[in-house]
Amino acid sequence: MAISVKIPEKITEYIKKPYDEFINETLVVELYREGLFTLRQAGEILGVGLNEMFDILAKRKTYINYGTEELDEDISYAHS
């Protein structure tokens, strides 16, 4: 799905290029902060591994949310 959004030029001065990658990363990190994605899901959406996802979260000063859902997901992943 493609969504078109108008972003004021004053804001685009601060956005890193390519814009779509920056905006996608920003959106995924914010949804992760809100608890809508697990760490693994956020990485899959961005197409990065866990180590790179850790780096993205650190760069954006975001704490890692590790709860029972993530634990269950990691256990399932380890068994596969």
Q: Could you tell me the residue ranges of all domains in the chain?
A: 15-79
Distance linking the first and last C-alpha atoms of the chain: 31
pLDDT reading at 17 higher than 90: no
- CA nearest neighbour of 27 among 74, 62, 66: 62
Q: What span, in angstroms and rounded, lies between the C-alpha atoms of 21 and 24?
A: 5
pLDDT digits (tens, 9 = 90+) for 24-40: 999 999 999 998 988 88
The pLDDT assigned to 36 comes to: 92
- What's the gap between Cα 32 and its chain centre? 6
The pLDDT assigned to 38 comes to: 87
State the average pLDDT for the chain.
88
pLDDT reading at 18 higher than 90: no
pLDDT reading at 70 higher than 80: no
